[in-house]
Chains A and B, each alone.
Chain A
Amino acid sequence: MAEIVSLADGVAAVVHDGDTLVMEGFTHLIPFAAAHEVIRQGRRDLTLVRMTPDLIYDQMIGMGCASRLVFSWGGNPGVGSLHRFRDAVENAWPLPLALEEHSHAGMANRYLAGASGMPFAVLRGYVGTDLMAQTENIKPITCPFTGEVLTAVPALTPDATIIHAQRADVRGNVQMWGIIGVQKEAVLAAKRSLITVEEIVDRLQPQPQEVILPSFATDYIAVAPGGSHPSYAQGYSLRDNAFYTEWDAISRERDTFLRWMEENVLRGGPAA
């Protein structure tokens, strides 16, 4: 059964130095509040896994939390580069960042395999691209029935997965809706999980196209209202597209980035 805890206690319980950490949310429901708590707790040497690193991993990479990144698209959507990610890859600042790079389809299938308890997933993908030569984690596999050569990618089984959802009930069942991304698979693939929510209610009211994570399938739940800002929680908030645009200037230089993190994250404010 999921235990309802504070954000700080939840993060401390699931994230440790050296862990492989997943924080998913496909544009929508990105768990920023939890990421800021990971930064405040000073975690180091993490392998960060996420389809779209987005601002959340740009911040964690820039603050020196990560030594490795597993991902499929590392930009600021519609705006441009993730400058802290680029600075780490191009200039090893603040630390060298090893990359393992996939396509979205490959990453989605790796989560699917992890959630299904399978060692790998099979897809039609990557063939003919230069991605295959850059990692051991993309290999050809022959279909035993047809002889067709397909592509295999290993399951993702992170030490910890953190996601943000709209709400949970008092028994710890989690409900989310809107763009649901790959969060269900990412939670089920993980050894430990923390779900931050906008609110905890007595009873969950059904929503169109909802996804429910039953209480027995997760470990910790913490209330973090606005915890996906500048991403959003459908039904609670709107994507702060202005902030995504402003991040380009904030993050471009190391000193403006560090000052912003000091003022908005390290000193504990929920403003970010």
Chain B
Amino acid sequence: MTSAYTADEMMTVAAARQLHDRAVCFVGIGLPSTAANLARATVAPDVVLIYESGTLGAKPDRLPLSIGDGILADTADTVVSVPEVFNYWLQPGRIDVGFLSAAQIDRFANINTTMIGADYRHPVVRLPGAGGAPEIAASCREVVVVLRQTPRTFVDRVDFVTSVGFGHGPGDRQRLGLHGSGPRVVITDLGILTPDPRTLELTLVSVHPGATAEQARAATGWPLAVSPSLTTTDPPSETELSVLRRLEATMGRT
């Protein structure tokens, strides 16, 4: 018996389950950080969390508001400079999983965090920008993306390619010389999508309890492929929910 939970909680729990124990994980702030810390408190106690502020092996007992909160430095195995974190640790492929969010994602899991609109010089909405994401998406062995699924976020073509997923399809990552294998899974508040092995197009493989494939289709700006063996995600366990709620209550405490 599982108590009531929100779609966001289901999303975060499903994202946390994607992290293998002892994986080395490059963590973005926001949803990825919450999910990665939930994983460390549940399914992956020995996951190694790396934040772009240079904190390697951070073990925060509360959720940081920023990627540079003091709790990350205080609990890290080591703190390195920003050039070092990108050049020595990310670039050569030492990181297993890049954990990212996005403002827009397209059918080939390309990510936009730069701007909404048709003209870069005159954006309708100016977003924060790239941060570490382009090289995280390029160089981590694999990428996990977590974001809410709506017609505004799941678009046929992103307005701006900030970080490359599979480009225009099969062969593009190799052509571009990207060393990592790209997005392995996309977790949303409605379900779980993975790239089709042949076409690399994001395909719905699981819906969260209470959500439907129709809902996911309606929230997607391209004709969404649905796996013939569509499953239903296990609901959050009591432990996952209680740990997540305890963590979220600590957000940004110093």
Contacts and interface: CB of A to CB of B under 8 A. Distances in A.
Interface secondary structure of A, over-half rule = loop
B177 A148 contact: yes
Interface in A72-97: 72-75, 77-79, 81-82, 85-86, 89-90
Interface string A32-74: 0000000000000000000110000000000000000001111
B13 interface: no
A244 B82 contact: no
Contacts of A239: 65-66, 68-70, 254
A49 B80 CA distance: 22
A249 interface: no
Nearest to B84: A108
Contacts of A14: none
A73 B131 contact: yes
B31 to A, nearest CB: 11
Interface in B114-173: 114, 120, 123-135, 138-139, 160-164, 167, 172
B48 interface: no
A118 to B, nearest CB: 13
B66 A128 contact: no
Contacts of A77: 29, 65-68
Contact of B128 (A74, A108, A123, A209): A74
A134 B161 CA distance: 12
A111 B83 contact: yes
A181 B252 contact: no
A105 B91 contact: yes
Given A90-B123, A209-B79, A241-B69, A128 B167 contact: yes
B73 interface: yes
B81 A241 contact: no
Nearest to B115: A89
Given A51-B82, A181-B81, A124 B138 contact: yes
Contact of A179 (B53, B65, B120): B53
A80 to B, nearest CB: 9
Interface string B66-107: 111110110000110111001100110000000000000000
Contact of A181 (B82, B120, B133, B160): B82
A179 B134 contact: no
Contact of A101 (B86, B130, B161, B177): B130
A52 B190 CA distance: 32
B162 A26 contact: no
A8 interface: no
Contacts of A242: 252
A27 interface: yes
A181 B73 contact: no
Contact of B30 (A78, A86, A241, A245): A78
A195 B67 CA distance: 24
Given A85-B126, A123-B91, A28 B73 contact: yes
A82 B123 CA distance: 15
A28 B130 contact: no
Interface in B39-55: 52-55
Given A79-B65, A128-B172, A179-B53, A238 B130 contact: no
B252 A103 contact: no
A103 B135 contact: yes
B176 interface: yes
B17 interface: no
A241 B254 contact: yes
A241 B79 contact: no
B138 A28 contact: no
Given A28-B68, A77-B68, A101 B114 contact: yes
Interface of B: 29-30, 52-55, 64-70, 72-73, 78-79, 81-83, 86-87, 90-91, 114, 120, 123-135, 138-139, 160-164, 167, 172, 176-179, 251-254
30 contacts: A27-B53, A27-B66, A71-B129, A72-B129, A74-B126, A75-B128, A78-B64, A79-B65, A81-B126, A103-B133, A104-B86, A104-B130, A105-B91, A105-B135, A127-B176, A127-B177, A128-B161, A128-B178, A129-B130, A129-B161, A131-B162, A134-B120, A178-B73, A179-B68, A179-B72, A181-B54, A232-B70, A234-B70, A239-B254, A242-B252
Interface of A: 26-28, 51-52, 71-75, 77-79, 81-82, 85-86, 89-90, 101-105, 108-109, 111-112, 123-131, 134, 148-149, 178-182, 184-185, 209, 211, 232, 234, 238-242, 244-245
